[in-house]
Structure 1
Amino acid sequence: MFVVLLGLAGADNYVRPPAGRSLFVSHDHSKTSSQQVHISLAGNAQLRISWITDELTPSTVKYGKSSGVYEALMNGTSSSYRYIIYKSGQIHEVVIGPLEPSTTYYYKCGIDSSPEHSFRTPPAQFPIDFAVSGDLGQTEWTKSTLQHISKTDYDVLLLPGDLSYADFYQPSWDSYGRLIEPLASQRPWMVTQGNHEVERIPLIHKERFTAYNHRYHMPFEESGSSSNLFYSFKVAGVHVIMLGSYTDFGPDSSQYKWLESDLRKVDRKQTPWLFALVHAPWYNSNSAHQGEKESSVDMRNSMENLLYNARVDIVFAGHVHAYERFARVYKQEADKCGPVHITIGDGGNREGLATKYKDPQPKISVFREASFGHGQLRVVNASHAQWTWYRNDNAQPDSTWFTSLASDSACVV
């Protein structure tokens, strides 16, 4: 049995919004000026800066600690891709560093007439703040979510798949890049892919993840991965694993073998916190995306033991267009040494909210709500972190504290 969720617990009479109007952000710079600028972590004390130009220009970044004063220059590469009749602009990538922690840098991409941007590097140690948002898209609700995130002083954004919702129409990737640039050019955005990034058309375009892989180069090489679809990174005492729900994950797959190897390298004395991101949730009491055996159930059956035995603290997912927080679980039962599973697929997609839930609510489901919003995770120290989910209309949030499993003597392996 499923129940339609008509309002939050309590008498706030909240009327859930319909799917938001789709936005398209046009290009208002010259053909040689940088656009769609975004940054990501790229190994120890380094950042990858990516941007697009309509024409071929130098793949260089000038940067320094004062506005207009650029003490360093780094060179990179550029590429482009074709998708049926679409040809992308020049996609530039430059890795800069070493960079100092918790420091603001100013930079210019490519030619001198390009606009100046600035970013702040993450801290070297606790506390560190993450913004978390999945299934972002580019609608009026996306714009609201981004506005809410922009008011927070986060260090790194985590996005568990479904970025642009371009769905084969490649100019929407360009629009999305322009929409997120004000935020993504200032803080590292670390993303993994969702089903809307697959973009494979049988007999016409056989390659999967073409736009995603060309536009969002994540630090897979730095983490020993063979694919941009799965990787890990470390930042300020946190080890984050980004997994691919739509690439092979069985015991004989390269992703599974890489995950085994990556988890063996985790040192909980150096990184007391261990997070993982997938797109399709392994635990879900919403009617949406129930029965998706391969991307959800099969992946959970294949990899849950690895994450449990490594004492992963939190697993973030998207896909379901709502918010849900579970207890610590393992093999579908409450387990104090299992990870907390959080679905955060409420960023603002054009398909609307998933408002129907199973009734009664499973005991392992602690909080669930079908509204647009985002999450904030403040890792205070080696043992404690505060999680808060905010609904975009500023209603009462869901907030709780987590204790790292590395600090729990009952769960030490």
Structure 2
Amino acid sequence: MQQPLWDSFGRLVEPLASARPWMVTLGNHEIEMFPIIYPQGFKAYNARWLMPYQESNSQSNLYYSFDVAGAHVLVLGSYTDFDADSDQYSWLLADLATVDRSKTPWIFELIHAPWYNTNATHKGEGESMRIAMENILYEARVYVIFAGHVHAYERFTRVYNNKADQCGPVHITIGVGGNRGGLAMTFDSPSRSISMYREPSFGHGRLRVLNNTHAHWSWHRNNETNSVIADEIWLA
């Protein structure tokens, strides 16, 4: 179960995680399995990262929502059931029905496995979840869907059902915080027309909600002497 690693990571991030809201979503590395005795589960994750799932009427710590700075943020679980018969699917419909766009005009979503990806790494791993849930988020007019998993940066245009669509969300993969396996270097060539910017570099992102109608996303490359905004987009 690698519990000592969980504890050492917790001590490492505690100075920041104890002073700022630290909202997380499960990824593939949070899956714990011990054959026969203990099938797939998330005991360590649930014990150490208690999110406001009860406050958002979710039955599971693996998916929840919260409001902040004029935005409603959905945090969905890529590695728990998400089909039309699942609790997560039912919760998502109910949660979106409560959104008051006069108070939270922005809706953002966080997942782990990206639904759109032109990198050779982890290609297609988010496809079944996209098929199950993309229409719900399209109808709700979600603005941006943020993903990780692929250790490279990629931003798509507004997209729905694999085509550019001005009513669809922008998809952004930002799995570039750093990992011991290195970067995912290989992208499809030529690039798909819906992929606006992609780069295999470590970095971090910043999302600023300025008002009810304008927000700004920027991605900052880390391996520069000075701070560099490598990619940015205004959302309106």
Q: TM-score range by the shorter chain?
A: over 0.9
Structure-2 residue corresponding to 1:385: 215
Runs (4+) off by over 4 Å? none
Q: Structure 2 matches for 1:49-68, cutoff 5 A?
A: none
Structure-1 residue corresponding to 2:114: 281
TM-score normalised to structure 1 length: 0.55
Q: Deviations over 1:382-402 (max 9, x none)?
A: 110111101112345211211
Amino acid at match of 1:272: P
Q: Which structure has the larger Rg?
A: 1
Structure-2 residue corresponding to 1:105: none
Structure-1 residue corresponding to 2:153: 323
Structure-2 residue corresponding to 1:313: 143
TM-score normalised to structure 2 length: 0.96
The SS at the match of 1:190 is coil
Q: Deviations over 1:158-204 (max 9, x none)?
A: xxxxxxxxxx3211111111111121121101001001001112224
For the 8 Å contact 2:115–2:124, the answer to whether it is kept is: no
The SS at the match of 2:166 is coil
The SS at the match of 1:262 is helix
Structure-2 residue corresponding to 1:358: 188
For 1:199 and 1:227, how far apart are their aligned partners in 2? Answer: 17
Root-mean-square deviation (CA), in Å?
1.0
Identity fraction in percent = 62
Structure-2 residue corresponding to 1:257: 90
For 2:40 and 2:118, how far apart are their aligned partners in 1? Answer: 33
Aligned length: 233
Which residue of 165, 176, 185 corresponds with 1:335? 165
Amino acid at match of 1:202: P
Match status 1:344 vs 2:177: no
For the 8 Å contact 2:114–2:147, the answer to whether it is kept is: yes
Q: Using CA pairs under 8 Å that are at least 6 residues apart, name the structure with larger relative contact order, 1 or 2.
A: 1
- CA distance 1:216–1:288, shift in 2 (3 Å): same
Q: Structure 2 matches for 1:365-376, cutoff 5 A?
A: 365-376=195-206
For the 8 Å contact 2:117–2:124, the answer to whether it is kept is: no
The SS at the match of 2:24 is strand
Unaligned stretches of 5+ residues in structure 1:
1-167, 404-413
Q: Deviations over 1:38-91 (max 9, x none)?
A: xxxxxxxxxxxxxxxxxxxxxxxxxxxxxxxxxxxxxxxxxxxxxxxxxxxxxx
Q: Deviations over 1:132-156 (max 9, x none)?
A: xxxxxxxxxxxxxxxxxxxxxxxxx
